[in-house]
Amino acid sequence: MEALALDVDSGWSLTPLAGTAPAPTLEARRFEGHSLRIEAAAAPTLLHLHYAAQQQEEAPLLAIELAPGARCVLLETHGRAGGAATVQNLQLFLRLGRGAQLQHLRAVQPGPQDRVAHQLNAHLEQAARYEQALLATGSAYHQQRVEFELQGEDAEARIGGVLLAAGSALEQQVQARHAAARTRSTMEVLALASGTARVEVSARTHIAAGSSDAETRQRLAGIPTGGQPRLLLRPHLEIHHDQVQAAHGATWGALPEEALFLARQRGIAEAAAKALILEGLARAALTRAIDDTALPEPLRLEAALRSAVAVHLGGAPALQEVSHG
Amino acid sequence: MNQSEMLLDVQDLQVEVGERRVLQGLSLQIEPGTVVVLMGANGSGKSTLGLALTGHPRYRVAGGGVRFAGADLLAMNVEQRARAGLFLSFQSPPEIPGVKNNLFVRTAVNAVREARGEDPLDAFDFLGEARASAKRLGLPDAMLSRPVNDGFSGGERKRNELLQLALLRPRLAILDEIDSGMDVDGVRATIELVQRLRAQGTAFLLVSHYQQMIESLAPDAVLRLADGRIAERGGLELAREIARAGYVRSDEAVAA
């Protein structure tokens, strides 16, 4: 694969995977920022979008539009061109046309001194489907904010997040607005925190009047993995229609004791067993949002997750899984 | 056989779970390559024995001693006991979400192999062995790539325990009601595996209420556990007597 860095000064680079046709292009907009349009095609468009921070302070903006019926798998990763800490305020606008589908895998792992705020707004039209799997790690300041509007009937959004913070700060805010009948939203976040970390997760769903048979589900979980971290989990529902299904919950807990004992009883050292189990829990949370097992390896979050869990626990990554036909 | 040749030597073991003392001075010995059946009424402490021996943190040893292959078992942590060759099949095997079975078992097998001074199995050798063992146990191949016990039926979980047993080849396996939830093919596969490993020197402490399986394994000893102690020792005739008359009758007979 060859990266198409269409605007080298922008920080964005776009890499279509082999077989993707027609290859979309990043375009500079009249206002500061870039846009990307994905057209409908016989097969899903597979893209890797990477942003390398260019300046010590910056506010990149990108708008992505999926045409009606378009399908896309998008891996979004972040890094930085230089070594200095950055202050970043990134905005990402998504618009999914009728029946469009976007699987959005995101890995945002800033440096320890970076101060990062990402705001993502998604607008879904009739029968559109948006799935997001987010892997995020803590830094001096890191906020991920997602707002999605389910404007068309039968639109669906599914957000899965794994947040890891070891002595750092991390916040995720997810807000769903149901504005049509039979819309569905699912939010599931697993937060792992250690040391003096502070992790906050807020999930908020608003179901407007007239959204018959809307369904929403929020599931927030926090596991302290060492030290005295602060884990704040806030599920919230605001419902203005009677005929809906809603469930929400937040759980704080330890590693599953019996699973840990099983692993150790089979001879796996305690630290390795913890890493294996945490990675598994995180992987399960992401997989429930996007099952990436059938995706090409370069688009999966698996390796990044393994590495992030290992770093979080202060050790080496657990064994790599063997592929099994 | 003298004490030094015993694989497992438990002396006056006392175990507490919370505030309750479940085992109250239990002693037993197991030789290499033998099969010992442990029977007892519900709540008599059979599962407690297995979990205490393997070091479950909720089972506190309050007294007594245990030697395993000549070493002080109670001085070892959980994984050291496993690497020394002690295996427990769980009565209710827990699930590990997101951790694929083949990764979990290979990690375990290689941890144990490393402790034995053996080279780790590479991915392809492991898969070959795992698939062959799974086939013998009637475990569908697809179970290897699914998360550990996640969505498995009761019988599949037990077969998965047997798969780990087959691949880990321990010195002593404690099988806690391995037959519960299994169909007749599963029980047959269990018997075949126990016999095969036994022939290679693995000893078994089998907790079971299933008379047909006990008979098929021709155990070297049958022990009856009551009130946290070994109340009776015998052979197959003891298992038959318990099957015929029940545990209450057995208690009365011992009291008389």
Distances (CA, A) of A253 to A199, A250, B134: 15, 10, 34
With respect to residue A313, please indicate whether it lies within any of the assigned structural domains.
no
Q: Kindly determine whether residue B87 and residue A287, on different chains, have CB atoms separated by under 8 Å.
A: no
- Give the ipTM of the model, two decimals please: 0.94
> From CA A215, how far away is CA A207, in angstroms rounded?
9
Q: Which two tokens stand for residue A86?
A: 């950055």
- Ranking A17-26, A127-136, B128-137, B162-171 by mean pLDDT, the lowest is A17-26
pLDDT at B123 (0 to 100): 87
- Mark A112-129 as b/e (b = at least 16 C-beta within 10 Å): eebbbbbbbbbbbbbbbb
Strands A26-28 and A34-38: antiparallel
Residue A253, Cβ density class (10 Å: 0-12 exposed, 13-18 middle, ≥19 buried): exposed
With respect to residue A99, please indicate whether it lies within any of the assigned structural domains.
yes
Size of the A and B interface in Cβ pairs below 8 Å: 105
User: Three-state DSSP class for B73?
Assistant: helix
> How many residues does the structure list for chain B?
256
- Residue A138 sits at φ, ψ, to 5 deg, of -75, 160
> From CA A153, how far away is CA B82, in angstroms rounded?
56
Q: Is the pLDDT of residue A305 over 90?
A: yes
Structural domains counted in chain B:
1
Inter-residue contact A182 to A150 (CB < 8 Å)? no
> From CA B204, how far away is CA B8, in angstroms rounded?
10
The reported pTM is: 0.87
With respect to residue A93, please indicate whether it lies within any of the assigned structural domains.
yes
- CA–CA min distance A224, chain B (Å): 18
Chain A residues 207-226 within an 8 A CB cutoff of chain B: none
Q: Is the pLDDT of residue A194 over 60?
A: yes
Q: Cα-atom radius of gyration of chain B, to the nearest Å?
A: 18
User: Three-state DSSP class for A42?
Assistant: coil
pLDDT at A50 (0 to 100): 94
Is any Cβ of chain A less than 8 angstroms from the Cβ of B191?
A: no
Q: Which two tokens stand for residue B203?
A: 């000893």
Q: Is the pLDDT of residue B206 over 50?
A: yes
Q: Which two tokens stand for residue A12?
A: 């964005």
From chain B, the residues in CB contact with A268 under 8 A are 79, 107-108, 111
pLDDT at A323 (0 to 100): 42
With respect to residue A3, please indicate whether it lies within any of the assigned structural domains.
no
For residue B12, name the pLDDT band (cuts at 50, 70, 90).
very high
Chain centroid, CA A216 distance in Å: 18
Inter-residue contact A250 to A187 (CB < 8 Å)? no
Is any Cβ of chain A less than 8 angstroms from the Cβ of B108?
A: yes
- Domain containing residue B204: CATH number: 3.40.50.300
With respect to residue A325, please indicate whether it lies within any of the assigned structural domains.
no
Q: Cα-atom radius of gyration of chain A, to the nearest Å?
A: 20
For residue A4, name the pLDDT band (cuts at 50, 70, 90).
very low
For residue A215, name the pLDDT band (cuts at 50, 70, 90).
very high
With respect to residue A96, please indicate whether it lies within any of the assigned structural domains.
yes
> From CA A227, how far away is CA A197, in angstroms rounded?
9
With respect to residue A300, please indicate whether it lies within any of the assigned structural domains.
no
Inter-residue contact B178 to B214 (CB < 8 Å)? no
> From CA A106, how far away is CA A179, in angstroms rounded?
26
With respect to residue A306, please indicate whether it lies within any of the assigned structural domains.
no
* Mean of pLDDT over chain A: 90
Non-local (6+) Cβ contacts of A315 within 8 A are A271, A272, A275
Is any Cβ of chain B less than 8 angstroms from the Cβ of A322?
A: yes
* Mean predicted confidence (pLDDT) in A289-316: 90
Structural domains counted in chain A:
1
Non-local (6+) Cβ contacts of B104 within 8 A are A263, A266, A276, B96, B148
Q: Which two tokens stand for residue A123?
A: 């607008």
Residue A264 identity: R
pLDDT at A12 (0 to 100): 85
If you ran DSSP here, which 8-state letter would residue A298 be given?
Answer: G
pLDDT tens readout for residues A98-147 = 999 999 999 999 999 999 999 999 999 999 999 999 999 999 999 999 99
Is any Cβ of chain A less than 8 angstroms from the Cβ of B96?
A: yes
Structural domain of residue B181, as residue ranges? 3-255
> From CA A132, how far away is CA A117, in angstroms rounded?
17
Q: Is the pLDDT of residue A293 over 90?
A: no
pLDDT tens readout for residues A230-282 = 999 999 999 999 999 999 999 998 889 999 999 999 999 999 999 999 999 99
User: Three-state DSSP class for A43?
Assistant: coil
Structural domain of residue A143, as residue ranges? 12-255
If you ran DSSP here, which 8-state letter would residue B118 be given?
Answer: P
pLDDT at A8 (0 to 100): 44
- Residue A93 sits at φ, ψ, to 5 deg, of -110, 130
- Ranking A24-28, A137-141, B237-241 by mean pLDDT, the lowest is A24-28
Q: Is the pLDDT of residue A5 over 50?
A: no
pLDDT at A6 (0 to 100): 47
> From CA B133, how far away is CA B131, in angstroms rounded?
5
Q: Kindly determine whether residue B97 and residue A284, on different chains, have CB atoms separated by under 8 Å.
A: yes
